[in-house]
Amino acid sequence: MSSVGAAFRLVRAGWVLVREGVVAALPGEELSGLPKFGWRLARLFTRRRALAYERGDRLAKAVVRLGPSYVKLGQFLATRPDVVGNDMALDLAMLQDKMHTFPQAAAVAAIEASLGRKIGDLYVSFGDAVAAASIAQVHSAETVHDGVATRVAVKVIRPGVRRRFFHDLESYFLAARLQEKYIPSSRRLRPVEVTETLAQTTKIEMDLRLEAAALSELGENTKDDPGFRVPSVDWERTGRDVLTMEWVDGVKMNDIAGLIDAGHDLKAIAVNLIQSFLRHTLRDGFFHADMHPGNLFVEANGTIVAVDLGIAGRLGKKERRFLAEILYGFITRDYLRVAEVHFEAGYVPRQHNVAAFAQAIRAIGEPIHGQPAETISMAKLLTLLFEVTELFDMATRPELILLQKTMVVVEGVARTLDPAFNMWKTSEPVVGDWIAGNLGPRGLLTDARDGAKAMLALARQAPDLAARTERLSREIDLMAEHGLRFDETTARAIGKAEARYTRSGRLALWVIALTLLYIAWKLL
């Protein structure tokens, strides 16, 4: 029955998208057959007033009508231009994560339930909400340490948001399965896997202890970095549903006039922002993945403070080397090396020709080298690169797509601060230093040291590995002699799964049969 409910919720969502003109705003003239008929039908059912809005505004109104979980879905899909297309991703990226506040009494109840203490024991004062988003809202409060009152920001989970989201998640999985089944060309994008990533990402975002841990980790990584930091966490007053952290006094980065009035050097801030992001990505392999200007503050001394670390990205050493080498390859116009890096990383299947792939990459790089440096977009370069890799069956890499999305946002913020911003000149010191340290002689020594550690760890496990190999050999001999056997637990689980499947199938047939009987009765 949950599948039936998911189908109804999916139909409702589709109806809202039709009524708000989102479907009508799609380029339907390029369609043919049944899809084009459906697009024309959607235009007939669109609200008249919706036709006056731009596509991005229509999408924002529809998502707000559908509720917080669809706001989060839209923001997540904005990180996946490979799935929804670049234009739609840009529209989704503009979704404002601003919702109505919920009552202060509900926030107090959530805090007390999460921390097991009365609000008066936790905070000297607890004020009204100052901001509200799809998952949580933020309150201003005060605590006392050693007799000194300190202002803090308290983030509280929205009541009922977990139940609402996981109900809607059933609809998302249903849509993903239907897409994989009926649109074969979409299987390369792995829609079910994308939905699983959304589910996992949101689970993490809804546990504020994990956001606190991310803030703590990024704080340790950047403690010696010039001009960048994150708020400190009050762990005593942090739980699953509440996060207490340092209050940040500063100007939001989307307030350009405020930054100018405060006497800040906008060009210096843009340079600091990009170099900080690249430093976190290449050096640490851990970066803030939601660095839109509303999450960035500038303090009086010019330090950038990043908040709201619900979404974070990680890159392994292989991915960091991949990123640095392709950027360096484009700078030096060594397109063959860029192609080889894709093959070495295992991103492009071996049946393709390296030289042909290098030719496709040259088609991206050469036009860029003909432009002034300040107009070259690193984010656009990565976007074009991922488009070309589709021709060579490169599977979707979620960690690289999240990096691309974040780079698009960060570069866009930098160009807002400085329209003549030179991305390549700014990034060269950070990228060059990383390449020298990891791909030069120092990098070879580090790789040799890591290899020696791996060999030592393997040698320590040798007795256990030998015992496992011997047991596996005996099991294979037994299977060869007596055939494949299931233990009792496995057989019972298979039986239960088969029984559930049979019951579900019978139920679905009865529902269909009763529906047909009802339709026939109405016609008669």
DSSP state of 184: G
**288 vs 310: CA distance, rounded Å:** 9
Q: Give 50-54's long-range contacts (Cβ < 8 A, gap of 24+).
A: 50/19, 50/20, 50/21, 50/24, 51/21, 51/24, 53/21
d(CA 19, CA 309): 34
263: left (phi over 0), alpha (psi -120 to 50) or beta: left
Q: What is the three-state SS of 255-290?
A: CHHHHHHCCCCHHHHHHHHHHHHHHHHHHHCEEECC
Nearest to 109 by CA among 38, 157, 52: 157
Q: Which residues are catalytic?
A: 290
Instruction: Return the axis-axis angle of helices 86-93 and 398-417, rounded to nearest 10°.
Output: 60
What letter would DSSP give residue 346?
A: T
Per DSSP, which regions of 77-186 are E strands? 125-132, 136-145, 148-157
CA dihedral over 353, 355, 358, 360, signed as positive or negative: negative
How many Å apart are CA 435 and CA 451, to the nearest integer?
A: 19
Under DSSP, is residue 233 helix (H, G, I), strand (E, B) or coil?
A: strand
Q: How far apart are CA 519 and CA 513, in angstroms?
A: 10
The single residue listed with the structure tokens 């991703």 is: 89
- Nearest-angstrom CA–CA distance, 73 and 77: 6
Token pair of 418 as six digits: 């400085």
Neighbours of 366 (CB within 10 A): 11
CA atoms of 401 and 395, how far apart (whole Å): 11
Please provide the DSSP assignment of 201-226 as one string.
Answer: HHHHHT-HHHHHHHHHHHHHHTTT-T
